Amino acid sequence: MKTYDKFFVGGRWLASKGRTLADVVNPASEKVIGRIAMGNADDVAGAVEAASAAFDGWANTPPAERAAWLMKIQAELQTRAEEIAQLISAEVGTPIEFSRVAQAGLPIGSFGIAAQLLSDYAFSETVGNSEVVREPVGVVACITPWNYPLHQIAAKVAPALAAGCTVVLKPSEVAPLNAFLLAEVIESVGLPAGVFNLVCGVGSVVGEALARHSKVDMVSFTGSTRAGKRVAELASQTVKRVALELGGKSANILLDDADFSRAIPGSIQACYQNAGQTCTAHTRLLVSEARYEEAAALAAEAARQVRMGDPLAADTNLGPLVSEMQRERVRGFIEKGIEEGAELLAGGAEPPEDLPVGYYVKPTVFGRVTSNMTIAREEIFGPVLSILTYRDEDDAVRIANDSVYGLGGGVWSADVESAKRVARRIRTGQVEINGGGFNLMAPFGGYKQSGNGRELGKFGFEEYLEYKSMQMPQR
């Protein structure tokens, strides 16, 4: 068990000015696997000063050199890929095979992509008598969640560093050990002091101190919509840039010509991935009334085929929820669904009898759900699928858009053009067509209360740049 009582600030490991340690708990075993210092506003102040002092030098480092640093980080992360996967499976409960692909593979990819973007990015262009240049926004506070911890860190830190910004990272205190691993990697490759800084703590202390700090030029936040609103409120006092990636309640529309033998298992996977602790999880399954009985039977059977258990077992595809609090929250939603009259097709709120230890929730499917039910409106963040019925295509789109969120979604159809037509009408930042896979180069973010700004690829990279127009004398 590791104890981290120091933060990485200004290129050194400095003792936290906070006086408390927090346990990091393995959600499968319920055992403490690490401890971290819980910082305070003084820790934040020191980290921001270090980032501010390092900014000018880093911003003026040639892009090719910044790319070389990013490639060094990527290479070192690659050598520790299995360690990262094992660590995050222990912190979050993600099944190990998925951890290797997503929890380790995606962040490694993000650092490489950020480096590649610098090879041919046009930081200046001529517009009439003006030279328009792109410059780094400044000191960036990156506040990240626990569900895909290192992936979300890399999706912010890598493009911010590529753009020439300096960074203060506040990872989730629920799953922070991977952030310390990244800091160790950054120290080992010798990144200039102050370019990357790490401070831990709760959002109400460390997160809020970062959001309100006058020398933080931008906050990039991923988390709940409630917390995102608070970040935006505090950041507005210094008129800093804010990028928010928040909650979701994604709808997956199965058109009548879809192959349900493929679409239903794909829909279950899109809902239950990472135990449903995915902001883009397809938690609302929309089918026509004519095909409801078929869909309900297939979904219930697919849920019963899910292998729940030890995240480190190769055949497990559903692990525990991240914490006891999260488990009880999800069970409360399941009970609410039953109370409000939804048809329980599979699973339920009772603890799984064969898993007495660990924060497990049975893979659950509800049928005959209506849009006014709590389980159809609230982000549950657990393995709970709600099946709703629609009358026709227009009704399906209406139901899909009947949400304060707009992050993800899906459409299944035998005709891709029909699916794309419907996808264009869904008010969300991304839509999967017939189970289309995740793309690290495509923009990621949401409409409505799912946030603003985009991450990943060149779109995420440009979030960390400002425009400057230099007007030349006209001849």
**102-128 burial code (b ≥16 CB/10 A, e <16):** bbbbbbbbbbbbbbbbbeebeeeeeee
SS3 content of the chain, % helix, strand, coil (to 5): 45, 20, 35
**E strand or H helix at 109, and its extent?**
helix 105-117
Is the separation of the CB atoms in 316 and 310 below 8 Å?
yes
Separation of alpha carbons 233 and 243, rounded Å: 13
Is the separation of the CB atoms in 149 and 92 below 8 Å?
yes
DSSP label at 104?
Answer: I
Separation of alpha carbons 102 and 132, rounded Å: 37
Across the strands, what pairs with 14? 7
Q: At what angle do helices 149-163 and 81-92 cross, to 10 degrees?
A: 130
- Given 173, 200, 279, 463, the catalytic residue: 279
Catalytic residue flag (residue 208): no
Separation of alpha carbons 406 and 251, rounded Å: 9
Is the separation of the CB atoms in 220 and 160 below 8 Å?
yes
Length of the chain: 475
Sheet holding 465-471, edge to edge: 124-127, 130-136, 465-471
Is the separation of the CB atoms in 142 and 155 below 8 Å?
no
Catalytic residue flag (residue 378): no
Q: CA angle, 204 as apex, 199 and 206 as ends, to 5°?
A: 15
Separation of alpha carbons 165 and 188, rounded Å: 20
- Given 245, 379, 432, 463, the catalytic residue: 245
| HEC per residue, 146-210 | CCCHHHHHHHHHHHHHHHCCEEEEECCCCCCHHHHHHHHHHHHHCCCCCCEEECCCCHHHHHHHH
Contacts 24+ apart (CB under 8 A), 332-339: 333/374, 333/375, 333/378, 333/380, 333/382, 333/384, 334/361, 334/364, 334/375, 334/384, 336/374, 336/375, 337/366, 337/369, 337/373, 337/374, 337/375, 337/384, 337/386
Query: Is residue 318 helix, strand or coil?
Result: strand
The residues annotated as belonging to the active site are 245, 279
